[in-house]
């Protein structure tokens, strides 16, 4: 069977992936499959920068608003559902665009998943208790010793991913970064992989301006409504660990002033963007463009 095209548009938070992908999808009879691990959740709208209702009325967007915030949704779930949708887009004679900044979601489609061992609840509980007693950095230092490659790709405050990496090593004796190179099979796509990037200071300025716009759009009220519905990271919800939501929760709890919360969101967003760029640079298949270079991006897609 002839391989079918799949356009990937990746890049750091705030770079403008949605605008670029939407324009190309409109021009090229395309449909968009979101590769964003937070846009899958209903009610997390402003803080996850979901495509506007206007955009969604103009071209189909998939894998957005598909689960409630209290539901688990793994990368394996994403891979299974996204591949079915991509097949359906091809059957409709349209061009699928896989668009987002969640590197692991994209990797699951273009490179496969590694053979992941199941969770160990008792071991996880032990590590969580250690983090409570000695701090998250205590576990992060342990991860740096056994798997510096993975440690360099995640935040030292990302307790969930730190615990998972230590859990995998505990069960297999091998770093999770090693296992990730032993991926499952993938569909036979003809890949056109684009990554957006720009001058770091320009990107950071855009990120900060976007945070300010989100606050003006009612992000604080959105988080308040989520808390009123009973959605909280205190109950272990991964959805509420989305970038920025924790800082706003601390504001609503009186731990931060609004100014402090906004400053913390901007700092976390800059750090996240830096980690995303590092992740995507590790894959030589990406063609790199500034988001303003829509003509170059268009030509790259058309030349494949």
Region 225-235: mean pLDDT is: 83
Strands annotated E in 42-143: 61-62, 95-100
Verify that 62 and 30 share a domain, yes or no: yes
- How far apart CA 135 and CA 143 sit, in angstroms, is 14
- Which domain, by its residues, includes 216? 202-273
Residue 142: CA atoms inside 13 Å, Cβ hemisphere, count? 17
User: Position of tokens 């915030």?
Assistant: 69
Strands annotated E in 140-214: 189-196
Q: How confident is the model at residue 185 (pLDDT cuts 50, 70, 90)?
A: low
> Would 211 be classed as within a structural domain?
yes
CATH of the domain at 107: 3.40.50.300
Verify that 107 and 132 share a domain, yes or no: no
Residue 163's alpha-carbon distances to 51, 154, 177, 220, in angstroms, are 32, 12, 14, 30
Cβ neighbors of 205 (< 8 A, separation 6 or more) are: none
User: Position of tokens 């991913």?
Assistant: 161
The string of pLDDT tens digits covering residues 118-160 is 788 889 889 999 999 999 999 999 999 999 999 988 888 888 8
pTM reported for the whole predicted model: 0.83
User: Could you give the 3-state DSSP secondary structure of residue 97?
Assistant: strand
The string of pLDDT tens digits covering residues 255-272 is 999 999 999 999 999 999
The string of pLDDT tens digits covering residues 57-82 is 999 999 999 999 998 888 889 999 99
> Would 116 be classed as within a structural domain?
no
pLDDT of residue 235: 60
Task: Please provide the average confidence, as pLDDT, over all residues in the chain.
Answer: 92
CATH of the domain at 261: 1.10.287.890
Residue 6: CA atoms inside 13 Å, Cβ hemisphere, count? 27
Verify that 100 and 48 share a domain, yes or no: yes
Verify that 136 and 20 share a domain, yes or no: no
Residue 265: CA atoms inside 13 Å, Cβ hemisphere, count? 33
pLDDT of residue 234: 64
CATH of the domain at 171: 1.10.20.140
Verify that 85 and 131 share a domain, yes or no: no
Verify that 129 and 57 share a domain, yes or no: no
């Amino acid at each position: 069977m002839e391989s079918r095209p799949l356009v990937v548009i990746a890049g750091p938070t705030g770079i403008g992936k949605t605008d670029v992908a939407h324009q190309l999808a409109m021009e090229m009879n395309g449909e968009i499959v979101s590769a964003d691990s937070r846009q899958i959740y209903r009610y997390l709208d402003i803080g996850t920068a979901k495509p506007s209702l206007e955009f969604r009325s103009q071209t189909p967007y998939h894998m957005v608003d598909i689960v409630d915030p209290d539901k688990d949704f793994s990368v394996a779930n994403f891979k299974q559902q996204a591949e079915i949708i991509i097949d359906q887009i091809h059957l409709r004679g349209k061009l699928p665009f896989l668009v987002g900044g969640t590197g692991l979601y994209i990797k699951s489609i273009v490179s496969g998943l590694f053979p992941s061992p199941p969770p160990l609840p008792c071991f996880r509980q032990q590590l969580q208790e250690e983090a409570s007693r000695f701090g998250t950095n205590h576990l992060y230092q342990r991860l740096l010793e056994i798997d510096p490659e993975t440690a360099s790709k995640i935040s030292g405050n990302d307790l969930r991913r730190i615990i998972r990496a230590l859990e995998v090593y505990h069960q297999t004796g091998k770093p999770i970064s090693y296992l990730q190179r032993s991926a499952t099979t993938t569909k036979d796509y003809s890949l056109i992989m684009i990554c957006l990037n720009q001058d770091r200071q320009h990107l950071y300025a855009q990120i900060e301006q976007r945070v300010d716009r989100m606050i003006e759009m009612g992000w604080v009220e959105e988080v308040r409504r989520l808390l009123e519905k009973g959605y909280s990271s205190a109950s272990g919800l991964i959805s509420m660990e989305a970038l920025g939501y924790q800082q706003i929760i601390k504001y609503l709890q009186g731990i931060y002033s609004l100014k402090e919360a906004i400053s913390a969101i901007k700092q976390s967003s800059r750090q996240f963007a830096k980690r995303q760029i590092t992740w995507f640079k590790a894959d030589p298949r990406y063609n790199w463009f500034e988001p303003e270079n829509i003509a170059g991006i268009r030509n790259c897609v058309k030349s494949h």
